[in-house]
Amino acid sequence: MNKKAYIESKPKFSVIWIVPVIAIIITGWMLYQHQANKGHTIFLKMENADGLIAGKTEIKVRSVQVGLVESLKLQIDQNAVIATVRIFKDYDTLLTEDTKFWTVKPRVDESGISGLNTLLSGAYIELLPGESQNTATLFTMQNQPALIAPDIEGVRYKLKAANAEVLDVGTGIFFRNYKIGQVETASFNEKTLEMDYGIFINSPYNELISKNAIFWVNSGVEVDLSTEGIKVSTGSLSKLIKGGISVDYPPNTEADTIAEQSTQYKLHKNFAVALERRFDLFDLYLVEFEQSIKGLKPGAPVEYRGMRIGTVEQVPAQLVRNGQPLYFQQDNTSIPVLIKVEYGRIYEVDEQAKKYWQSNIEKWIKNGLRASLKSGNLLTGAVYIELDFYNAAKPEAIAKHLVYPVLPSVPSGFTALSEQVMALLNKLNNLPIDDTLNEAHETLTAYKQLGNETERLIKNLNNKKVSEKVDKNLTQLQGTLTQLTSSLKQFEKTLSTYQQGSSVMDQLTDTLSELESLSNTLKPVTKGLNEQPNMLIFDKSTTEDPVPRKR
């Protein structure tokens, strides 16, 4: 009985190891799925995390959640906050380098009121996808919402403003009070000392921006105090609140060819200034006034019988003769004023107007064309220069002894008025005053007779029908009073039924007495009930009353 034992070698790989291997594979697969489904992590750099809550604040695109703020970390060295944001798996294509982020929260600014829906839901971060193909993971949060999304079509132009007020980004561009775009960028050029604006005109309104378009600042309310009076003009309510930039074509002109992108325009202070650029063909003239020029200011109009033909340039004209100002010379007491005759105002084709003017001016002056000061606005005291023909004017010719030709003038205003007053006084001296006084006396006599007749007429009226009517009315009034007295007596009678001693009061007193008597009668019963509540069922078990005793 000899048996041989078999020794089997131990297998190198036990089957039992399959279980942990499978577990590792499953774990790895789960980790991969978790990471894959987790989406992409990006970082947002911002000045402060106002309104943002880690784990709660959502990232939205067009109100659809595409991510979540996972954490907020303060970066002290950069004075910034870094938000770790997880963008969901399917939206990683949104994360291009020109993607914009900003916080949506309640805002009240010049563009209006926005974000009110976040009052209850809390702030969220809006994501505006970019157009770039390059992806990024670090973004800088904007303080303000993006004005113009990349998918909005339109054309960008440039504006330069030297004297206009500074406008903010977001200011509207209006074409005949309709908003067609807005200011996209605003910066001050320290070299040219001008404001550079980048504007965006929405499509298809960019077709309105022609080469001859003019831009001017249109404040909400425009008050123009000029020789033409006070002019107050307002735009729409939003423009009234926010102001804006207006764009239009010059009056009586049509749109030129459409301007190309990035065309630069000048932004004028107002509409009037915007128009003046057209009158660049002009001649300067000197007008010497032998009177006060108070109220005349540069920019005041020069008119011919109400039609504007030019503008006052300098008041007084800064001209020097022999090293002295022209208006401070003893042999010359007049005040020189420099004016521009703008031919574009005379006729649309300014060259033609210039020829016409220059060929006829000497003849006109010979025939009596003179300049004079006229009061344009009594309220502001502004004056302007008017050219007109004066037949009684002394003959003069256009003087050319100075730098500029001199137009002759005639006195006006108080000077002219004093001359007219003198003329009037002379006429008064020649008036037949005695005859006038006699006529006045006769007129007064006639008025006196009329008064007497009127008095007699009134007396007649008093004695006749009027007194009868008054008597009739008095009779009616007496009847009414009698009726009123009767009503009052009836009312008094009614009241007397409620007075003391009346039957009603007696009945009431009797009733109260009976009530009092009943109350007195019930007092022993209530006393008994207090002492013995079951008194009504069983007999009184109260003790006998104490018997009064003789002492």
Site stretch for other proteins (CB under 8 A), options 215-223, 346-354, 389-397, 542-550: 542-550
520 binds other proteins per the rule CB under 8 A: yes
Min separation Cβ 493 and other proteins, Å: 18
542 binds other proteins per the rule CB under 8 A: yes
Peptide bond into 11 cis (omega under 30): no
Residues 53-112 that bind other proteins (CB under 8 A): none
Is residue 503 packed enough to be buried (19+ CB in 10 Å), middle (13-18) or exposed (0-12)? exposed
As a whole number of angstroms, the distance between CA 107 and CA 104 comes to 8
539 binds other proteins per the rule CB under 8 A: yes
Single out the residue of 201, 208, 206, 160 nearest to residue 184, CA to CA: 201
Site stretch for other proteins (CB under 8 A), options 82-90, 258-266, 460-468, 541-549: 541-549
**x/- letters, 449..488, toward other proteins (CB under 8 A):** ----------------------------------------
Min separation Cβ 476 and other proteins, Å: 40
As a whole number of angstroms, the distance between CA 105 and CA 143 comes to 11
The continuous run of DSSP H or E covering 104 comes out as strand 100-104
Among positions 436, 496, 509, 511, the unique one binding other proteins when judged by CB under 8 A: 509
CB 387 within 8 A of CB 371: yes
* DSSP conformational letter for 536: G
Single out the residue of 180, 183, 178 nearest to residue 166, CA to CA: 183
492 binds other proteins per the rule CB under 8 A: no
Min separation Cβ 475 and other proteins, Å: 40
Pick the closer one to other proteins by CB: 425 or 537: 537
Among positions 251, 306, 395, 501, the unique one binding other proteins when judged by CB under 8 A: 501
Pick the closer one to other proteins by CB: 318 or 517: 517
The continuous run of DSSP H or E covering 247 comes out as strand 244-248
Min separation Cβ 504 and other proteins, Å: 15
**In Å, how far from its chain's centre is CA 408?**
48
Task: Please count the CA atoms within 13 angstroms of the CA of 383 that sit on its side-chain side.
Answer: 18
Among positions 4, 12, 493, 549, the unique one binding other proteins when judged by CB under 8 A: 549
447 binds other proteins per the rule CB under 8 A: no
Min separation Cβ 526 and other proteins, Å: 11
Residue 132 sits at the vertex; the CA angle it makes with 130 and 136, to the nearest 5 degrees, is 85
531 binds other proteins per the rule CB under 8 A: yes
Among positions 51, 145, 405, 528, the unique one binding other proteins when judged by CB under 8 A: 528
As a whole number of angstroms, the distance between CA 292 and CA 35 comes to 89
533 binds other proteins per the rule CB under 8 A: no
Among positions 178, 223, 523, 529, the unique one binding other proteins when judged by CB under 8 A: 523
CB 423 within 8 A of CB 392: no
Among positions 119, 260, 517, 529, the unique one binding other proteins when judged by CB under 8 A: 517
Site stretch for other proteins (CB under 8 A), options 25-33, 69-77, 200-208, 543-551: 543-551
Residue 292 sits at the vertex; the CA angle it makes with 290 and 295, to the nearest 5 degrees, is 135
191 binds other proteins per the rule CB under 8 A: no
As a whole number of angstroms, the distance between CA 432 and CA 17 comes to 144
CB 313 within 8 A of CB 340: yes
Sign of CA dihedral 63, 68, 73, 78: negative
Min separation Cβ 490 and other proteins, Å: 23
Pick the closer one to other proteins by CB: 220 or 528: 528
Residues 330-359 that bind other proteins (CB under 8 A): none
Give the number of other Cβ atoms within 10 Å of residue 399's Cβ.
Answer: 14
Min separation Cβ 543 and other proteins, Å: 8
The continuous run of DSSP H or E covering 231 comes out as strand 229-234
Which three-class secondary structure state does DSSP give residue 215? strand
Pick the closer one to other proteins by CB: 483 or 509: 509
CB 147 within 8 A of CB 174: no
Pick the closer one to other proteins by CB: 493 or 550: 550
Min separation Cβ 523 and other proteins, Å: 5
Min separation Cβ 488 and other proteins, Å: 22
Residue 414 sits at the vertex; the CA angle it makes with 413 and 420, to the nearest 5 degrees, is 95
Min separation Cβ 537 and other proteins, Å: 9
Min separation Cβ 487 and other proteins, Å: 26
Question: Residues with Cβ < 8 Å from 477, sequence gap 6 or more?
Answer: none
Among positions 333, 430, 494, 521, the unique one binding other proteins when judged by CB under 8 A: 521
Min separation Cβ 491 and other proteins, Å: 22
Query: In one letter, which amino acid is 68?
Result: L
Min separation Cβ 498 and other proteins, Å: 15
- First and final C-alpha spacing in the chain: 147
Site stretch for other proteins (CB under 8 A), options 170-178, 366-374, 428-436, 512-520: 512-520
Min separation Cβ 535 and other proteins, Å: 10
Among positions 524, 529, 533, 536, the unique one binding other proteins when judged by CB under 8 A: 524
497 binds other proteins per the rule CB under 8 A: no
548 binds other proteins per the rule CB under 8 A: yes
499 binds other proteins per the rule CB under 8 A: no
As a whole number of angstroms, the distance between CA 107 and CA 91 comes to 28
Backbone angles phi, psi at 308, to 5 degrees: -75, 130
As a whole number of angstroms, the distance between CA 6 and CA 489 comes to 147
Q: How many residues bind other proteins (CB under 8 A)?
A: 24
As a whole number of angstroms, the distance between CA 144 and CA 104 comes to 9
Contacting positions for other proteins (CB under 8 A): 501, 509, 516-517, 520-521, 523-524, 527-528, 531, 538-542, 544-551
